[in-house]
């Protein structure tokens, strides 16, 4: 079995599972165009449709409600664009939380700047939760879209999506959910949640990178994302990413089968990690939910006073071969990279600089957790000794 000790950054990306790699190996020789009417072409189309079924099953959707994309960012962009382009003549209000992924925040800003939409930004509570009364307060008669993520990538908070969907439905407002961090970690059922669209990304649940999907409840009168040869119901033209889709289908199948096992595993890892870490460094603090309630159990965002998380992360990597994260992987591309999520929950610059994220995955073992705590403790002592 594939095994990645020292890797504690599963929210950033996951390795492909052995099952996914096996399916991809089998698929290497498939070369027909899925749109071709030849026997081989039809075979490829059937394989895509099976992957579509597995992906749909993972989130309680129907296969025809799934549009394959290149990942979470594209799915988010597409969902927002599709809804807002319909109101371009009468731009109204967009309600969005301040802790969304950059693929949501930037497309919303784009519509504000280019088309005159107004944006109401919802701040989370100190522990990272979006409270439904803040959504109710933000509603205006011209609200065109509410977009809230299901689980936050940095803190792990699981937001009250069902309640927000009820508010959106009662007011006839389109509700998009970024489900990228939730899908494959907690049960997600779009039918129960009654959301209008939801984004998925395969590389967050042991599938390949560069492939994802958008669940779209109603695909009538959609603005095509890519005008082309009619693939994906005419919504996203272009020859399908066959390998990526096969990998995603297999990953979705495995995630559905293993979800409860993974959740139980994360519960154990989380409680062992917290017990051991707080024993060694009692003044460490959890930035996200304290009790693990309404939270991704694999995710811990921590603050350790008097140290720089950047230095800690470097020591962990180079001395102990442990990979952790300072925040969202993509925000590392920016020059000034203080986490907008930690800012949004009101942490001071000092606290943000002392904060880091640990995220476990299916391959994390109890022994890895013990080694990680020891590595953090040793690095902490080094940093304390040099800071005087
Ligand atoms: C919450 C969230 N949304 C969207 C994305 C983007 O997904 P992708 O990397 O597939 O574009 C990420 C990736 O980190 C994420 O964490």
Look at residue 328 and tell me whether its pLDDT is greater than 60: no
| Cα angle for residues 25, 27, 31 (degrees, 5° grid) | 135
Rounded Cα–Cα distance for residues 326 and 312 (Å) = 10
Q: Which stretch of 222-231, 311-320, 326-335 has the lowest confidence by average pLDDT?
A: 326-335
pLDDT band at 387 (very low <50, low <70, confident <90, very high): confident
Average pLDDT on 314-327 reads 93
Ligand 1 atom nearest the C-alpha of 13 is: 14
Name the residue with the closest Cα to ligand 1, atom 9: 72
Rounded Cα–Cα distance for residues 236 and 233 (Å) = 7
Same domain, 183 and 36: yes
pTM score of the predicted model:
0.96
pLDDT in tens, 191-211: 999 999 999 999 999 999 999
Residue 346 dihedral angles phi and psi, to the nearest 5°: 90, 15
Name the residue with the closest Cα to ligand 1, atom 4: 72
Residue among 130, 153, 210 to mutate when testing ligand 1 (max atoms within 8 A of CB): 153
Rounded Cα–Cα distance for residues 190 and 150 (Å) = 11
The whole-chain average pLDDT of the chain stands at: 95
Residue 173 inside a domain? The answer is yes
pLDDT in tens, 256-266: 999 999 999 99
Same domain, 194 and 263: no
Please identify, among 253, 271, 302, the residue that sits at the C-terminal boundary of a domain.
253
Domain that holds residue 308: 259-387
Residue among 181, 202, 208 to mutate when testing ligand 1 (max atoms within 8 A of CB): 181
pLDDT given at position 327:
61
Average pLDDT on 177-188 reads 98
- Helix residue ranges, H only, the chain: 18-27, 39-58, 72-85, 102-115, 132-138, 161-170, 190-193, 242-280, 309-320, 340-344, 349-353, 366-387
Look at residue 190 and tell me whether its pLDDT is greater than 90: yes
Cα 275 to averaged position of ligand 1 atoms, centre (Å): 30
Residue 280 inside a domain? The answer is yes
> Would you give the DSSP letter of residue 213?
E
Average pLDDT on 76-101 reads 97
Same domain, 307 and 331: yes
pLDDT given at position 4:
77
Q: Which residue has the higher pLDDT, 37 or 333?
A: 37
pLDDT given at position 363:
96
pLDDT in tens, 14-47: 999 999 999 999 999 999 999 999 999 999 999 9
Please identify, among 253, 287, 304, the residue that sits at the C-terminal boundary of a domain.
253
pLDDT given at position 388:
63
Q: Is the dihedral of CA 341, 347, 350, 352 positive or negative?
A: negative
Cα 5 to averaged position of ligand 1 atoms, centre (Å): 23
Same domain, 279 and 195: no
71 CB within 6 A, ligand 1: yes
User: What is the domain-level CATH number for residue 215?
Assistant: 3.40.640.10
Same domain, 85 and 103: yes
- Let me know: does 40 contact 229? Beta carbons within 8 Å: no
Look at residue 293 and tell me whether its pLDDT is greater than 90: no
Cα 386 to averaged position of ligand 1 atoms, centre (Å): 37
pLDDT band at 292 (very low <50, low <70, confident <90, very high): confident
178 CB within 6 A, ligand 1: yes
355 CB within 6 A, ligand 1: no
Same domain, 146 and 171: yes
Look at residue 335 and tell me whether its pLDDT is greater than 80: no
Residue 2 inside a domain? The answer is no
Please identify, among 200, 223, 253, the residue that sits at the C-terminal boundary of a domain.
253
pLDDT band at 5 (very low <50, low <70, confident <90, very high): confident
pLDDT band at 386 (very low <50, low <70, confident <90, very high): confident
Same domain, 68 and 208: yes
Residue 5 inside a domain? The answer is no
Rounded Cα–Cα distance for residues 94 and 176 (Å) = 11
103 CB within 6 A, ligand 1: yes
Same domain, 96 and 235: yes
pLDDT in tens, 215-231: 999 988 899 999 999 99
> Would you give the DSSP letter of residue 187?
-
72 CB within 6 A, ligand 1: yes
Same domain, 225 and 239: yes
Residue among 71, 100, 185, 214 to mutate when testing ligand 1 (max atoms within 8 A of CB): 71
Look at residue 310 and tell me whether its pLDDT is greater than 50: yes
Cα 78 to averaged position of ligand 1 atoms, centre (Å): 14
Number of structural domains in the chain: 2
Same domain, 28 and 159: yes
Q: Quick one: residue 292, left, alpha or beta (phi over 0 = left, psi -120 to 50 = alpha)?
A: left
Look at residue 123 and tell me whether its pLDDT is greater than 50: yes
pLDDT band at 330 (very low <50, low <70, confident <90, very high): very low
Residue 65 inside a domain? The answer is yes
Residue 295 designated active-site:
no
Q: Which residue has the higher pLDDT, 296 or 327?
A: 296
Paired residues of 216 in beta bridges: 197
Same domain, 306 and 245: no
Ligand 1 atom nearest the C-alpha of 151 is: 1
pLDDT in tens, 125-144: 999 999 999 999 999 999 99
Same domain, 215 and 279: no
- Alpha-carbon dihedral angle through residues 118, 73, 86, 192, given to the nearest 10 degrees: -100
Q: Which helix (H) or strand (E) holds 6?
A: none
Residue 204 inside a domain? The answer is yes
């Amino acid at each position: 079995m594939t095994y990645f000790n020292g890797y504690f950054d599963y929210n950033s990306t996951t390795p492909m599972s052995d099952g996914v790699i096996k399916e991809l190996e089998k698929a290497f020789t498939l070369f027909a165009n899925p749109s071709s009417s030849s026997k081989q072409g039809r075979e490829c189309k059937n394989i895509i449709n099976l992957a579509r079924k597995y992906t749909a099953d993972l989130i309680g959707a129907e296969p025809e409600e799934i549009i394959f994309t290149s990942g979470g960012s594209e799915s988010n962009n597409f969902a927002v664009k599709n809804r807002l382009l319909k109101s371009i003549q009468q731009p109204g209000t967009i309600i969005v939380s301040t802790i969304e992924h950059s693929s949501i925040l930037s497309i919303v800003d784009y519509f504000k700047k280019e088309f005159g939409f107004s944006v109401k930004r919802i701040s989370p509570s100190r522990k990272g939760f979006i409270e439904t009364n803040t959504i109710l307060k933000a509603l205006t008669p011209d609200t065109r879209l509410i977009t809230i993520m299901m689980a936050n990538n940095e803190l792990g908070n699981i937001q009250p999506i069902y309640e927000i969907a009820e508010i959106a439905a009662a007011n006839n407002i389109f509700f998009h959910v970024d489900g990228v961090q939730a899908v494959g970690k907690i049960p997600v059922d779009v039918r129960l949640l009654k959301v209008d669209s939801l984004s998925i990304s395969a590389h967050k649940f042991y599938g390949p990178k560069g492939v994802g999907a958008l669940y779209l409840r109603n695909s009538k009168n959609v603005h095509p994302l890519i005008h082309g040869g009619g693939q994906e119901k005419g919504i996203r033209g272009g020859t399908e990413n066959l390998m990526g889709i096969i990998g995603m289908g297999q990953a979705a199948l495995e995630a559905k089968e293993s979800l409860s096992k993974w959740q139980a595993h994360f519960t154990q890892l989380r409680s062992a990690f917290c017990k051991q870490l707080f024993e060694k460094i009692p003044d460490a603090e959890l930035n996200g939910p304290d009790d693990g309630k309404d939270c991704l159990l694999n995710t811990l965002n921590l603050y350790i006073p008097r140290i720089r998380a950047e230095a800690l992360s470097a020591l962990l990597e180079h001395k102990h071969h442990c990979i952790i994260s300072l925040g969202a992987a993509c925000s590392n591309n920016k020059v000034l990279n203080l986490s907008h999520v930690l800012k949004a929950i009101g942490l001071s610059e000092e606290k943000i600089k002392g904060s880091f994220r640990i995220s476990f995955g299916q391959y994390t073992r109890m022994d890895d957790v013990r080694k990680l705590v020891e590595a953090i403790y040793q690095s902490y002592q080094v940093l304390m000794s040099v800071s005087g």
